[in-house]
Structure 1
Amino acid sequence: MKSANLLLAGAVTVLAATATVHAQSSSIPAFKSWPRGASPAEIGQKTASRFIATPHTNFNRTTPPKVITYPETCTWYGALTFAKVTGNKALTQKLADRFEPLFGSRDSLIPVPDHVDYTVFGSVPLELYMQTKEERYLKIGKMFADKQWGPPEGKRVTAESHRFYDKGLTWQTRLWIDDMFMITAVQSQAFRATGNPMYITKAAKEMVFYLDSLQQPNGLFYHAPDVPYFWGRGDGWMAVGMSELLRSLPKNNPDRPRIMEGYKKMMATLLKYQAEDGMWRQLIDDPNSWKETSCTGMFTCAFITGVKEGWLDKSIYAPAARKAWLSLIKYINSDGDITDVCEGTNKKDSHQYYLDRKRNTGDLHGQAPLLWCATAFLR
């Protein structure tokens, strides 16, 4: 009975929040008047509920993880931000309940912050701190953010770790484009939670280093310097990472113009490669490549954020974001799982390797962007 009441309270809260946001978004016609079952509030609630019902999961979703992996972190963070923008305190409580065992019997699930994929976990306790004001969350989250800028330590340290650290970058730098969400998410969160500009200032410098090192003349990014392919989700991490950073980066930050330049250049090229139905492809510039949902969600989120923040022309990018969203949600099945999600993918210098990646259903790499989009629409 208690569970049913919580769900009812959550549903009422979502409806109330939707009405408020509808009024706030009235200047963007493309972001209102959704078909039944297609609104960001409805999809966000459905996806968040699906996440709550999903146990801690490894990449293959068949074996329990040794530690919490970054796709779960990204989905958890998305569900928390969705709970915040909808004022759904019942949802926030359920997401906090998921964390509670990590303070005790299941603390071994907390990853060691010695790699970008593990350090991003700090974004979750930092969000929980901002919503609950419980200091125990801040302590964990701040430790993760601080370790990223501290001296190299642990079994993953290499000669390159020291070289990057000596240049004022994080020792976890590896020049994979995935990093530019993993680093910016936790550091932006640390700035939001503490107000200390050090976190976001360092993240901005790191972003400029990646832009200068990896962005190609057309605005897109190779997966890594030695892998000359525009892999959808890899570029998706970059697109969301830039928008996440810019959303909180102070206007007077000296690196802001360079990051905004890189962001707008990427958005213009993504618009060019958007398919007629609104989707994007596993290899962005290959018209014979299959349509992939995780990158579509990420690019959609970056478009929405740019329109809402006034960085992008709303007459052009708002309709494109709407088209993408309405196409993307058609891939959600009756269980609340999104289909056609590229499996976890390391870099490889092979065009065919990317085309042959398995298409997963319910993979958290794809669930997370749905929540990010819902939040961006409603923020």
Structure 2
Amino acid sequence: MKFQTLKVLSIAAFASGLFLSCAQTKSATASNTKTQTSQSGKVVPTNLKWSERMLLSEMNRFPKAWMLDFNKEPRWAYPAAIVLEGAEQLYAKTGNKEYYEYISNFGDTMVKEDGSIVSYELDKHNIDYLNCGNVLLYLYGKEKKPKYLKALQTLRYQIETMPRTKEGGFWHKKIYPHQMWLDGLYMGEPFYANYTKEFSKGAEAEKAYNDVVNQFDLIQKNLLDKKTGLLYHAWDESKEQAWANKETGLSPNFWGRAMGWYGMAMVDVLDFLPKDHPGRAKIIGYIKSYTDAIIKVQDQETGLWYQVLDKGGEKGNYTEASASSMFVYTMIKAVNKGYLPKSYKAVAQKGYDGILKNLISVDENGVVNLNRCCAVAGLGGKPYRSGTYEYYVNEEIRSNDPKGTGPFILASLEFEK
């Protein structure tokens, strides 16, 4: 990808975010407008930690949390939940009510009084829909609003009705039959385990936790490349998709962010899995083999990771922000939690320093940007996405994608502990 192309896309993405921010100025709440000034005259004070600087920058770009991911109208979509998880932790750390209001306003906007969720469609059986449920679990714990409980029960019902592979693995979406994607483990399993911890007991809870662990077992069984230790983006049990290997059902490449989703899924789901559950030891083992594999494909010069992980030297490939942030978050959280030896912190630090040096830029007003994020990538659909190397390296690149800024905030928080 030529530098000029990256620069143009980055400017376009920033301009888009600026337009959205300006358009919302009149409707922004008084608390949100506080983020736009400081004693230093900066929109975002430069004397704060990186986690807070990035969250305040996101709140400046997207005065309403539903606007994250450059949305022009409220939409139930997973990227907001990642940034809001960072907001939850920063509210707990700082007590800044602006952060809580940012989260709370999202819930109030997205969930109607009858418990229905804006733009949500149960019959699509889209596993992506589950991730924002973590925001509602947080808000219900704080506010006990009946509408959040009703919405949470709807999301839990979706889990019960999700179509599955023969071995019990969740399809990624109803429109992607017989397919498990790495992305889906992050979208579904932390919420599934979190909900179970809050609302289920006894045999019901044990069954759910076993189901959660089984999803990781199936990913390891069906998507792992034993030679490299990396995992392919997706697997088609039916082997019918054009992108699927006719013998294995696997997609053809190791996409950086797909691997990033999987790493975050593992370290996050352990927050909710009981200490005495036998699945914990298995998942911690998966984290170790996973981390060893991604270390082998880390770019030694920058400390970053490539869009297509194992093809760093090939034409068009580039070091990508969201995957790099996700890998760093996975590793440093795993070290902090004791899942990985402390020696792995140096690798995470190298990656984090690489992000700060190569992918972060700061505007004159203090607003922080995360550059070189892949906007989106998937498989199948219309127009058809083939999963080839050329497909991945030619998807849109933009700045300040929440699939990168969210993990960056979370990684920063782990380093700041």
Aligned 1:135-284 pairs, distance under 5 A = 135-148=146-159, 150-152=160-162, 161=163, 163-164=165-166, 167-170=167-170, 174-194=179-199, 196=201, 197-198=205-206, 199-217=208-226, 218-225=228-235, 226=244, 227-276=251-300, 277-284=302-309
* Shift in alpha-carbon separation, 1:162–1:284, aligned structure 2, 3 A: closer
Rounded Cα–Cα distance in structure 1 between residues aligned with 2:96 and 2:31: 14
Which residue does the alignment assign to 2:388?
A: 350
Equivalent in the alignment of 2:324 = 296
Structure 1 match to 2:127: 116
Structure 1 residues 274 and 168: CA distance shift in structure 2, 3 A:
closer
Give the AA of the match of 1:118.
Answer: Y
Equivalences, count: 340
Aligned amino acid, residue 293 of structure 1: A
Equivalent residue number for residue 138 of structure 2: 127
Q: 1:65 to 1:4 in 2, by over 3 A?
A: closer
Q: For 1:45 and 1:204, how far apart are their aligned partners in 2?
A: 32
- Once residues 76 and 102 of structure 1 are traced to their aligned partners in structure 2, the CA distance between those partners, rounded to angstroms, is 14
User: What is the CA-CA distance between 1:206 and the residue it aligns to?
Assistant: 1.4
TM-score normalised by the chain length of structure 1: 0.78
Q: Distance in 1 between matches of 2:117 and 2:402?
A: 21
Give the Cα–Cα distance (whole angstroms) in 2 for the partners of residues 87 and 58 of structure 1. 23
Give the TM-score, by structure 2 length. Answer: 0.72
Give the match's secondary structure for 2:253: coil
Aligned to 1:33: none
Structure-2 change in CA distance of 1:146 and 1:44 (3 Å): farther
SS at 1:280 equivalent: coil
Q: Which runs of 5+ in 2 are unaligned?
A: 1-28, 40-45, 173-177, 236-243, 245-250, 380-385
Aligned to 1:311: 339
Correspondence list, 1:75-94, <5 A: 75-94=83-102
Q: CA RMSD in A?
A: 3.2
1:318 Cα shift? 1.1
CA distance in 2, matches of 1:183, 1:279: 27
Match of 1:157 in 2: none
- The 1-side partners of 2:137 and 2:199 are apart by 9
Code of the residue aligned with 1:352 in structure 2: it is E
Q: Which residue number corresponds to residue 16 of structure 2?
A: none
Mapped pair 1:101 → 2:109:
yes
Deviation at 1:337, TM superposition (A): 2.9
Q: Report what 1:364 is aligned to.
A: 402
Alpha-carbon displacement from aligned partner over 1:43-73 (angstroms, at most 9, x marks no partner): 45434534652563486x3x62573222223
Instruction: Name the structure where helix makes up a greater proportion of residues.
Output: 1
Aligned position for 1:19: none
Looking at structure 2, the residues matched to 349 and 3 of structure 1 have their Cα atoms a distance apart, in angstroms, of 44
What displacement does 1:349 show? Answer: 3.4
Structure 1 unaligned segments of length 5 or more: list them. 12-35, 153-160
Where 1:357 maps in the other structure, the secondary structure is coil
Aligned counterpart, 2:3: none
